[in-house]
Amino acid sequence: MKSCLIVDDSKVIRMVARKILHELNFSTQEAEDGQQALDLCRKQMPDAVLLDWNMPIMNGIDFLRGLRKLPGGDHPVVVFCTTENDIDHIQEAITAGANEYIMKPFDSEILQAKFSQVGLL
Amino acid sequence: MRAEDFDLIAKILKERSGLIVTADKSYLLESRLTPVARRRGMKGLDDLLGSLRAASEDLLREITEAMTTNESFFFRDIKPFELFRTAALPQMLQARAAKKSFRIWSAACSSGQEAYSLAMILKEEAARLAGWKIEIVGTDISAEMLEKAKAGLYSQFEVQRGLPIQLLVKYFKKNNEMWQIDPSIRAMVQYRDFNLLGDPKSLGQFDIVFCRNVLIYFDQPTKARVLDAISRNMPDDGLLYLGGAETVLGISDRFRPVPDQRGVYAVNRGGNGAPAAGVASLFSGGR
Ligand SMILES: C[S@@+](CC[C@H](N)C(=O)[O-])C[C@H]1O[C@@H](n2cnc3c(N)ncnc32)[C@H](O)[C@@H]1O
């Protein structure tokens, strides 16, 4: 079973994502901000990270840059999932090492499509 | 709905587009034709069906188009597009090395995602294709879908189904809430109005044909007829790509499956002896 870390400050979004990911047979962990997520990754690298952009304490892009510097930090497939939907943000995410990018609102179909595109399914 | 009205609309749809509507799918008539009726100032489906016997060509066309299912997405099912890039493309580059050109047909292209997916693949391979002239032609029966395909404007939802993010960034621009495909990609595809029940001769010969997720709506004889017409419009080494739920097996011996390439079929001129023909004759009995 593959593991996915859900990073989002919205409890509702985390719940929706968790439900979809469980249906897709992922085990999940959750973090409310980038810092919590980095701490969890230091303990154990997930196979995938579903990552919000705007969060308190540490945002998604700073988390991603931090993650890619950790030992084993290039293992997780990182899929952004954010309301930021302009080319500049997407470009910045790719440059920082994101593998895919979901523009909110999303549904299970989009998440599934994106996860299979990056070989997680 | 009166039985005779149902029979008439079913007959009209089958004749005009090949679409088979069975009684258990009659709710589709309700949901797709009620808006047509309303646009014409009628109360609902029953009025529309009642007017069929005196219907103008215009109305019949509108009804036929309204009944099409136009769902499509970029790189649908992925695999066929990978096979196109890794198998068909090298094969064509070798086989057409002398004339340096070949033609691709997205038959039943809907809103253009299939044709544009192929165009993006070619664009990504541009280095190997320098000096080549590769035409992509997209055809559909729906004028509305062809307009949409030509415009190359897609919603956020549409660009998130199957399109890798790197290609979105590279080949699309955001235009308010929509995403506009790059003019260089748009220029690689020509769109034409074409009914698959007709003779494709005027479109010219195609080396590679994507005819995906449209045969499913037809009955066996119509599928056979369409496959036959497509094969006559292809060279001996042509390749056909069908949708995930479609096959030629048991329907037509004009094509045979390409081993290890799911959904890909090669033109079969021999008839007997080839594996496809052998299997086909098992199923098709009276052909
Ligand atoms: C489900 S879409 C498939 C689009 C695309 N090939 C794909 O696989 O994503 C089916 C398309 O077939 C078109 N169609 C249905 N009957 C047709 C006919 N007789 N001739 C040409 N196009 C037809 C419809 O208008 C619709 O756009």
Residues of chain A in contact with residue B76, where contact means CB-CB under 8 angstroms, are: none
Nearest C-alpha of chain A: how many angstroms from B169? 6
**Is the CB of residue B70 below 6 angstroms from any atom belonging to ligand 1?**
yes
Let me know whether B134 and B49 are in one domain. Answer: no
Let me know whether B58 and B105 are in one domain. Answer: no
Let me know whether B125 and B224 are in one domain. Answer: yes
Closest Cβ–Cβ partner in B78, B161, B164 for A110: B161
Q: Are B256 and B274 in contact (CB under 8 A)?
A: yes
Let me know whether B30 and B142 are in one domain. Answer: no
Q: Which atom belonging to ligand 1 lies closest to the Cα atom of B111? A: 27
Tokens of B48: 């529309």
- With H, G, I as helix, E, B as strand and everything else as coil, classify residue B284: helix
Give the pLDDT mean for A82-104: 97
Residue B35 lies in a domain: yes
Nearest C-alpha of chain B: how many angstroms from A120? 14
Per-position b or e across B258-284, b if 16+ CB within 10 A of its CB: beebebbbbbbeeeeebebbebbeeee
Q: Which domain holds residue A29?
A: 2-117
The secondary structure of B205-264 as a DSSP string is --SEEEE-SSGGGS-HHHHHHHHHHHHHTS-TT-EEEE-TT---TTT-SSEEEPTT-TTE
Pairing of strands A48-51, A77-82: parallel
Let me know whether B130 and B251 are in one domain. Answer: yes
Let me know whether B30 and B137 are in one domain. Answer: no
**Is the CB of residue B268 below 6 angstroms from any atom belonging to ligand 1?**
no
Let me know whether B51 and B118 are in one domain. Answer: no
> How many whole angstroms separate alpha carbon B108 and alpha carbon B145?
10
Q: Summarize pLDDT for B233-258 with one digit per residue, the tens.
A: 999 999 999 999 999 999 999 999 99
The secondary structure of A64-92 as a DSSP string is HHHHHHSTTTTSSEEEEEES--SHHHHHH
- With H, G, I as helix, E, B as strand and everything else as coil, classify residue B145: helix
Q: Which atom belonging to ligand 1 lies closest to the Cα atom of B106? A: 6
**Tell me, what CATH number does B37's domain have?**
1.10.155.10
Position A46 scores a pLDDT of 98
Q: What are phi and psi for residue A111, nearest 5 degrees?
A: -60, -45
Q: Are A34 and A58 in contact (CB under 8 A)?
A: yes
What is the helix (H) or strand (E) element at residue B96, kind and residue range?
Answer: none
Position B86 scores a pLDDT of 97
Q: Summarize pLDDT for B181-213 with one digit per residue, the tens.
A: 999 999 999 999 999 999 999 999 999 999 999
> How many whole angstroms separate alpha carbon A90 and alpha carbon A37?
21
**Sheet bearing B255-257, strands edge to edge:** B189-193, B133-140, B101-107, B208-211, B239-242, B264-267, B255-257
Let me know whether B48 and B145 are in one domain. Answer: no
Among chain B residues, CA nearest to A94? B166
Residue B227 lies in a domain: yes
Distance separating the N- and C-terminal Cα atoms of chain B? 36
Residues of A with CB under 8 A from a CB of B: 85-87, 90-91, 94, 98, 100-103, 106, 109-110, 113-114, 116-117
**Residues paired with B181 in a beta bridge:** B172
B contact residues 171-190, partner A, Cβ 8 Å cutoff: 173-174
Most distant pair of Cα atoms in chain B: their distance: 62
Among chain A residues, CA nearest to B155? A103
Q: Which domain holds residue B277?
A: 79-151+181-283
**Is the CB of residue B195 below 6 angstroms from any atom belonging to ligand 1?**
yes
Let me know whether B12 and B131 are in one domain. Answer: no
**Residues paired with A49 in a beta bridge:** A5, A78
Provide the number of structural domains found in chain B. Answer: 2
- With H, G, I as helix, E, B as strand and everything else as coil, classify residue B177: coil
Position B279 scores a pLDDT of 44
ipTM of the complex in this document = 0.93
Per-position b or e across B2-24, b if 16+ CB within 10 A of its CB: eeebbeebbebbbebbbbebeee
Residues of chain A in contact with residue B157, where contact means CB-CB under 8 angstroms, are: 110
Let me know whether B248 and B113 are in one domain. Answer: yes
Q: What are phi and psi for residue A118, nearest 5 degrees?
A: -95, 15
> How many whole angstroms separate alpha carbon B230 and alpha carbon B1?
37
What residues in chain B have per-residue pLDDT under 70?
271-287
Residue B103 lies in a domain: yes
Cβ contact A87–B174 (<8 Å):
yes
- With H, G, I as helix, E, B as strand and everything else as coil, classify residue A22: helix
Let me know whether B85 and B204 are in one domain. Answer: yes
**Is the CB of residue B254 below 6 angstroms from any atom belonging to ligand 1?**
no
In chain B, % helix, strand, coil (3-state, to 5) comes to 50, 15, 35
Nearest C-alpha of chain A: how many angstroms from B67? 24
User: Which DSSP category does B87 fall into?
Assistant: I
Place of tokens 């790189």: B75
Position B287 scores a pLDDT of 36
Provide the number of structural domains found in chain A. Answer: 1
Tokens of B64: 């036929």
Cβ contact B164–A100 (<8 Å):
yes
Nearest C-alpha of chain A: how many angstroms from B237? 31
Q: Which atom belonging to ligand 1 lies closest to the Cα atom of B142? A: 25
Gap from CA of B106 to ligand 1 centroid (Å): 10
**Tell me, what CATH number does A56's domain have?**
3.40.50.2300
Q: Are B105 and B137 in contact (CB under 8 A)?
A: yes
Let me know whether B30 and B135 are in one domain. Answer: no
